[in-house]
């Protein structure tokens, strides 16, 4: 049994998928590979995601320590940026491999 942030998983792959699985988490991480992004830029990159879903997924990734949220309050309007944490950066090879496999599928099987 594997434990992470108070949750239990039967194997290491289920732990990984528990953290980055789902329809939008890997998409968010893919766009954050390039660097910091503001909420609206992420929203534009993923036009079919609802605002509520994007917000919830960002909060979950932040809670799990994969991304960080930085709020700039020095001058209006409020500015919020999202980026990968050092822990989140350990996912870079995995996210790139997932993207490469998706490209391969499109090239070979479409």
On whether residue 10 sits in a domain, the answer given is: no
In a domain, 54, yes or no: yes
Check which CATH number belongs to the domain holding 53 and give it.
1.10.10.10
How far apart (Å, rounded) are the C-alpha atoms in residues 102 and 105? 5
Domain presence at residue 30: yes
Residue 18 lies in a domain: no
List the domain range (segments joined by +) for residue 66.
23-109
| pTM for the full predicted model | 0.90
Residue 102: alpha-carbon gap to chain centroid? 17
Could you tell me if residue 12 is inside a domain? Answer: no
**pLDDT single digits (tens) 75-109:** 777 889 999 999 999 999 999 999 999 999 999 98
Residue 13 lies in a domain: no
Counting the structural domains of the chain, the total is 1
Could you read off the pLDDT of 38-54 as tens digits, one per residue? 999 999 999 999 999 99
Q: How far apart are CA 17 and CA 2, in angstroms?
A: 13
Is 28 a member of any domain?
Answer: yes
């Amino acid at each position: 049994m594997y434990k992470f942030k108070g949750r239990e998983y039967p194997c290491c792959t289920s732990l990984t998928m528990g953290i980055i699985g789902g329809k939008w988490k890997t998409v968010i991480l893919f766009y954050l590979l390039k660097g910091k992004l503001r909420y609206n830029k992420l929203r534009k990159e993923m036009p079919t995601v609802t605002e509520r879903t994007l917000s919830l997924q960002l909060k979950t990734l932040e809670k799990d320590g994969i991304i960080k949220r930085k709020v700039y309050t020095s001058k209006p309007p409020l500015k919020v940026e999202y980026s990968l944490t050092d822990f989140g950066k350990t996912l870079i090879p995995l996210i790139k491999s997932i993207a490469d496999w998706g490209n391969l599928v499109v090239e070979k099987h479409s």
